[in-house]
Amino acid sequence: MMQNFGRRYDQLRRRVDRRLTTMAIHGAPAELLQACRYVLTGGGKRLRAILVLLSSEAVGGTARRALDAAAAIEIMHNFTLVHDDVMDHAGARRGRPTVHVRWSLNTALLTGDTLLALAYMSLLKTGRITSCDMVRLFTQGVIDVCEGQALDMEFAKREDVTVRDYFAMIEKKTGRLISTATELGARVGGGTAAQARALHRFGHYLGGAFQLQDDLLDVFGNEKDFGKTIGGDIVEGKRTFLLLTALERARGNDRQLLKRVLRQNRGAARPSTARARHEFVAGIRSLYATYGVIDETRRLVQQNTRRALAVLSTLPASPARDMLAWLSNTLIHRAS
């Protein structure tokens, strides 16, 4: 059964990939066209798109008719990545240079803008089943993601960010896109209002579990599997759930050491050698263990997953519903 789900996931991913690579971008100037294609053919898990497809099936719709909406969510996600990479000065994404590095800032700006418009075009292609309500849901998703990113940037300048602030930010920055995906899938699939609400809540909890797991993986993941450098969040001074929870619990010298992490994003305070960096990350990691932050995070991942599964169980039994449950469990046990 689990193997079947894995196979189906790969099939769906390939369908999404095909749809994205055949996106018609007629008449665009060469460089803009190249950059849009570069982004859309860059691979990735296509998780958000697949959530749209499965959510549609879970309420009795088909994956086929939800494909344009799924592509819309994935293109919108990629729009945020292109612009976020500019803001974060990120040099690489999915093992390739980012758009602003490969081309230029201007091209990255325009590529993001164009992708957002192409996302709307794909959503509207869903034809007669598209309603203004769906476009509104999608648009609110874009606004929330932008606001989440703005909060994240604001937090980077502050040393008094609380765990509560963190949840408000992450709910918008990464959570909203996932709950928008699941709700959109329910609507495109012709689900009832109650089913759309249920799938929105499912996405909300799934997004929470996903993000907390991501924070954990940065500290305890396997570098090769995770595709990022372990401890990257610590070295870059990211305000993660782990760090903010530790800061709320620690006092004295421990607290001072944790506060050093907050200043890492200014660069000057960063460890200058690989060895110093390694020791710094190890020191913070052991504080996370000491203050029970790891256990607390794992507990919250489990809690969010349980809640996600509980919401799912209110939907009629179907293979798609089972696959969404499988996906929830897979995501929290993932190593990358």
Residues that bind a copy of itself (CB under 8 A): 27-32, 83, 86-87, 105-107, 109-110, 112-114, 116-118, 120-121, 124, 130-132, 135-136, 139-140, 142-143, 146-147, 149-151, 153-154
Shortest distance, position 333 Cβ to a copy of itself, whole Å: 34
Q: How far is the CB of 165 from a copy of itself (least distance, A)?
A: 11
CA nearest neighbour of 323 among 30, 68, 50: 50
> From the CB of 241, what's the least distance to a copy of itself, in Å?
19
Burial grade of 110 (CB within 10 A; 0-12, 13-18, 19 or more): buried
Nearer to a copy of itself, 122 or 297 (CB): 122
CB 77 within 8 A of CB 143: no
**Minimum CB distance to a copy of itself, residue 211 (Å):** 19
Q: CA–CA distance from 129 to each of 68, 134, 162, 293 (Å)?
A: 11, 9, 42, 46
> Which of 128, 333 has the CB closer to a copy of itself?
128
CB of 267 to a copy of itself, least distance (A): 16
Q: In terms of CB distance, is 142 or 324 closer to a copy of itself?
A: 142
Q: In the chain, where does DSSP find H-type helix?
A: 2-21, 30-40, 47-58, 67-87, 99-102, 105-125, 132-156, 163-170, 176-188, 193-220, 223-226, 232-235, 241-249, 252-262, 274-290, 293-312, 319-332
Shortest Cβ distance from residue 67 to a copy of itself (Å)?
A: 17
Q: Dig out the tokens for 68 from the structure.
A: 């344009």
Name which of 116 and 196 has its Cβ closer to a copy of itself.
116
Q: How many residues does the chain have?
A: 336
Please list, in sequence order, all residues whose beta carbon lies within 8 angstroms of the beta carbon of residue 275, skipping any fewer than 6 positions away. none
| Rounded-to-integer distance, Cα 321 and Cα 221, Å | 29
Q: How far is the CB of 130 from a copy of itself (least distance, A)?
A: 5
When the beta carbons of 109 and 327 are compared against a copy of itself, the nearer one is 109
- Match 């396997």 to its residue by tokens: 222
CB of 86 to a copy of itself, least distance (A): 6
Kindly tell me which of 86 and 325 has the beta carbon lying closer to a copy of itself. 86
CA distance 117 to 178: 19
CA distance 312 to 318: 11
CB of 55 to a copy of itself, least distance (A): 21
Report the SS3 class of residue 297.
helix
Nearer to a copy of itself, 31 or 322 (CB): 31
Q: Tell me whether residue 57 or residue 74 sits nearer to a copy of itself (CB atom).
A: 74
Closer to a copy of itself at the Cβ: 134 or 293?
Answer: 134
Neighbours of 283 (CB within 10 A): 15
Q: Alpha-carbon distance 176 to 303, whole Å? A: 19
Contact criterion met (CB below 8 Å) for 19 and 148: no
